[in-house]
Amino acid sequence: MEEKEVAERVRAELSEARFAHTQGVVDATTELARRFGANVQAARLAAWVHDIAREWPRERLLQAALRVEMPSGFALIPALLHGPIAAGLANEWFGVSDAVADAIRYHTTGRVGMSVLEKVVCLADAIERGRDYPGVNDIRAAALTDLNLALAMSFDSTIQYLLLKREPIFPLTVMARNEFWELTREVRE
């Protein structure tokens, strides 16, 4: 399916605000993919689809979660379900590759051993032009030169936010965060 058709299908599924966020993620992903050497077409496709199930009511998410490949632990935190569900839909509706499906599946949580494609989509989601939270400009600045550092900072920001809100923290996100700081340390030393 052509990118334009995918975008139109996504538009039909989302509120105007969420679609604007998605467009921001597509643009940010394109920039990051060019800068850090990911397949631009694949990255854009993942970005278009990443939040396609983000506005589904909890019941529909829980129902759909039974039918898709769900990494262990995701089901314990409902806010994480929209990634794996979108990955399943991306496959069913648009026939995306496994690499693209993984970028969608892990866009919220990250994971250890992320591909460059997964990294650029995950980071773009956090720094697209519509995002405004404490420290976002520092992450944007890091993203100009160092993908791993920007992700390390971004995961710290997410974890800090969740701590303050007393929300659950997904263990794989902590592991991903540790790995990104480790990777940047290796470069600094």
Q: For 174-185, give one letter per residue: b (16+ CB within 10 A) or e.
A: ebbbebbbeebe
Minimum gap (Å) between residue 107 Cβ and Fe ion: 6
Q: Does 13 bind Fe ion (CB under 5 A)?
A: no
Of positions 13, 51, 102, 118, contacts Fe ion by CB under 5 A: 51
CA distance linking residue 90 with residue 152, whole number of Å:
27
Q: Does 179 bind Fe ion (CB under 5 A)?
A: no
Q: Does 128 bind Fe ion (CB under 5 A)?
A: no
Minimum gap (Å) between residue 187 Cβ and Fe ion: 28
Site string for Fe ion, 130-169 (x = CB under 5 A): ----------------------------------------
Pick 154 or 184: Cβ nearer Fe ion: 154
- What are the C-alpha distances in Å from 140 to residues 7, 104, 143? 25, 21, 5
The span of 38-46, 120-128, 138-146, 176-184 binding Fe ion (CB under 5 A) equals 120-128
CA distance linking residue 36 with residue 22, whole number of Å:
20
Footprint of Fe ion on this chain (CB under 5 A)? 51, 108, 125
